[in-house]
Structure 1
Amino acid sequence: MEDMSKASLQVVYDGPALQSHEMEVRDLAPALLALGELFEEANATLNDGRTKLSVSVKGSFKTGSFGIDLGVTQSLIQQAQDLFAGSPVTAAANLIALLGFTSLTTRGVFQLIKWVRNRDITKVEILSDGVVRVFCDQEHFDTEEKVLALFRNWKLRKAFQDVVHKPLQRPGVDYFAVREPDGDFVAASETEAENFIAPEQEEERLDESERVASLQLVNIAFRDENKWRFHDGASTFYASIVDPSFLSMIESGDLRFGKGDILRVRLKEIKTLVGDQLKAEHQVLEVLDHRRSGTQLKLPIQHPD
């Protein structure tokens, strides 16, 4: 048996292009998917897998614009309920408030994004009772620690971008607004939309290593930072050629290559974490040997004395 938590939300896009109460599917579908991901990320961040959440379209309403009704349904997994009996779960209605999708709060994620306006956050102070103070130079904004945790979630910020900024880039779509039933709207205008662009994901260098490797040529490129495609017997990857002597010999025409040639090289691998994605970059530091493909079979040939 599961405990259920439900809440409703009304979302409106407004502007001259929407006076017929219609919105193109290619604009609406990504926005709806992003709304679902926004709530899923918020739920995952604050409830850590203890609840399941779904967002469904309940119907439409007329406001002289284009609007949709959403239902947010959250279920507490019984096993998690037993295991975390002493740990409070953030319910669906509270998620809406923390995201700032209600006029009853002035310090949700929605309001924090509008206040920051893509400025650099210079300091965060931890106050009492779960309150934090966010500084942009001399200005500050007080909010909850939970709101700050959501604000720092890059996937959630990207979802906000797709819900607010992207639709408002369409000609004639000027406003995004959201509210709980019978509540007042909280809104963002076309001029405020750029504040919702997600920041670039931070790149963290994890480690780097060098080794001697034999690589088979798959494709050669003399553009895009001289990134050649190689196969090492297990996988295919791109590597930048940064050996100046080797590149000079190529430019002079002293070297010729063909698909399947083998290069013995000093290979550098750099692993970085971008958001939650692990990435690997390869660089050929030095080419030690070049072996042409189609090598003749070896035979025990004896030469005369």
Structure 2
Amino acid sequence: MSQMFEDGEAERISVRYDGPAVDHSSMDVRLVAPSLLALADLFAVAHSELGPTLTPPPRLEIIGQRSGSLIIDMLLAAESTLVDLLNHERATAVANGLALSAPVIGAITWVVHRKRMGRESGIEPVGSDIIRVTWPDGTTLLVPVGSQALIERMDFNRTAVRVFEPLREDGIDEVELNTTRSGRAIRASVRRDDLAGFNLPPGSDLVLSDGTRTVTVRIESLPLKMGNKWRVHDGLASLWATLDDVAFAQLMEAGSERFGVDDRLVVLMRDRQLRSGDGVGESWEHSILKVIEHKSAPPPDELPFDDE
């Protein structure tokens, strides 16, 4: 048994295809159908990353079509069972899991910016659920916190490129996703040249391994500003790691957490091994996904010394 939640528990999304091929507000179903199916898959990927555990992914429903380019309106609606509806906590969790369109569109916009301007130079929290992404030329982008988790998932990027597959066809110049959040329009616009940003094009680094571990690290040097990498020692070697725990970064900015060299952190660390596109070299990328515990280094007068 399935049931759509009432008002406020479904998200409205529109996708717009633009270009000479849709001047008459029509498009070959063999192009648009796979794109919309991929969009449903994209929200399933986002739900698996950001939504409540043990809940089915939301369903995407077409609710209408407007003229002018080709604009298709859709609803992203929660799937629930009779048990869910009788359990208030469970129903609330499923409904909260619908807040997917904003982080999905934010992640897509982030990929487009990265493709056009290169790698970002900094990431910092702004408020409780927004992060600011900065590029070397000073360009900034505000996106929901969940966008960061999505942009790093290869299956999200690989699915997104299928959503924008119509751009490979002559006469389709732009695909745009739209939604609203707190009364504000949120939009992601993708053009043909942006497609390579969602995939590993020839010559890009190849991911050889991608895993996480819980480990205690010792701080060897602190970043001069938020968004820069930390130098830590994991007991085996020194390494540079990004701090991707936004909630912990907020505590740092608020002054609730203070650090010093030789402090120890129990963290969930992500390690990625990469091979260069030319196959010549390999490298590692490390990121701190979550700070589990912070252990301050003892002051100098409390350090243990061997008896002389």
Report the TM-score range of the alignment, normalised by the length of the smaller protein.
0.5 to 0.7
1:22 partnered with 2:26: yes
Indicate the residue corresponding to 2:189 in structure 1.
Answer: 188
1:154 partnered with 2:154: yes
- Residues 150, 120 of structure 1: alpha-carbon distance in 2 compared, 3 angstrom cutoff: same
- Residues 138, 178 of structure 1: alpha-carbon distance in 2 compared, 3 angstrom cutoff: closer
Indicate the residue corresponding to 1:221 in structure 2.
Answer: none
1:195: Cα distance to partner?
6.0
Indicate the residue corresponding to 2:77 in structure 1.
Answer: 73
Indicate the residue corresponding to 1:298 in structure 2.
Answer: none
Q: Which has the larger radius of gyration?
A: 1
**Structure-2 separation of matches of 1:192 and 1:91:** 35
2:56 maps to which of 52, 58, 80: 52
1:150: Cα distance to partner?
1.5
1:202 partnered with 2:203: no
- Residues 57, 90 of structure 1: alpha-carbon distance in 2 compared, 3 angstrom cutoff: closer
1:253-297 deviation per Cα after TM superposition (whole angstroms, max 9, x unaligned): xxxxxxxxxxxxxxxxxxxx999xxxxxxxxxxxxxxxxxxxxxx
Q: 1:175–1:187: 8 Å Cα contact kept in structure 2?
A: no
- Residues 128, 186 of structure 1: alpha-carbon distance in 2 compared, 3 angstrom cutoff: closer
- Residues 135, 49 of structure 1: alpha-carbon distance in 2 compared, 3 angstrom cutoff: same
1:46: Cα distance to partner?
0.8
TM score, norm. by length of structure 1: 0.52
- Residues 7, 144 of structure 1: alpha-carbon distance in 2 compared, 3 angstrom cutoff: closer
Q: 2:132–2:143: 8 Å Cα contact kept in structure 1?
A: yes
Q: 1:57–1:68: 8 Å Cα contact kept in structure 2?
A: no
1:6: Cα distance to partner?
1.8
- Residue 52 of structure 1 aligns to a residue in which SS? coil
Indicate the residue corresponding to 1:6 in structure 2.
Answer: 10
Q: Does 183-192 or 50-59 show the bigger shift?
A: 183-192
1:111: Cα distance to partner?
2.5
> Which consecutive residues of structure 2, in runs of 5 or more, have no partner in the other structure?
212-271, 275-308
2:113 maps to which of 93, 115, 120: 115
1:17: Cα distance to partner?
0.8
1:71: Cα distance to partner?
2.1
1:185: Cα distance to partner?
7.2
- Residue 173 of structure 1 aligns to a residue in which SS? coil
**Structure-1 separation of matches of 2:153 and 2:88:** 26
| Seq. identity, % | 20
- Residues 81, 141 of structure 1: alpha-carbon distance in 2 compared, 3 angstrom cutoff: farther
Supply the RMSD in Å over aligned alpha carbons: 4.0
1:10-63 deviation per Cα after TM superposition (whole angstroms, max 9, x unaligned): 211011111232222321122112101110011110125332234344244232
1:82-110 deviation per Cα after TM superposition (whole angstroms, max 9, x unaligned): 6976x96673652112223xxxxxxx223
Q: 2:20–2:172: 8 Å Cα contact kept in structure 1?
A: yes
The one-letter code matched in structure 2 to 1:50 is: L
**Structure-2 separation of matches of 1:194 and 1:159:** 12
Indicate the residue corresponding to 1:173 in structure 2.
Answer: 172
**Structure-2 separation of matches of 1:143 and 1:55:** 24
**Structure-1 separation of matches of 2:98 and 2:77:** 10
